[in-house]
Amino acid sequence: MEICLVRHGETDWNKLGKLQGHTDIRLNSKGIILANACADYLRESSYELIITSPLKRAKQTAQIISERNHIPIIEMSQFIERSYGDAEGLTQEERITKYPDLKYPNQESREFLLERVMLGLQKIQSEQDVKKLILVAHGAVINTILAVISNNEIGSGKTVLANACISTIRFAEGNWHILNYNQVNHLVINEFSP
């Protein structure tokens, strides 16, 4: 099985540097352009299914890819973004001022995030009879997957994922392997086109 991990396109909160978490923000106009660039790039790749987080920014990205490539979509709550509790809606500067220890009240723990995301990955393996699929999700979710597969060489705390970046993982010989991550070459030509 091969999974193309797509981070959602840009939102206004991404642009402003605000932490989104579970706050349900839509794509902005640039985010729609970025999602279309992903759709164009994935056009000839024979993906059979799209799985998406239920949050609007991921669903919109998934819908654009789906419509352009005629791929069915299902939602899985296991891939919703990490909840950042009371820090959601704050910029980095505001977070550092308000929570200098970076411990945000009511934030979802890394352990719980890791458990639900990896259970979601196992569920995909056991329930989906496809060889190639696209998973549209969020920075913390994708970085968690990359961190687990790479034994923390990349991913959480080490890799800043661009909006609409693509990372690819493959399950072979009993293990997940990272084929590439944080790929943005597909965005260069189309990023600012109308």
Indicate which residues carry an active-site annotation: 8, 81
Closest to 53 in 3D by CA, of 20, 82, 75? 75
Q: CB-based burial of residue 29 (10 Å sphere; 0-12 exposed, 13-18 middle, 19+ buried)?
A: exposed
Residue with tokens 């997957």, as numbered in its chain: 145
Encode 65-85: b = buried (16+ Cβ within 10 Å), e = exposed. bbeebebebebbebbbbbbbb
Please, what's the largest Cα pairwise distance for the chain? 48
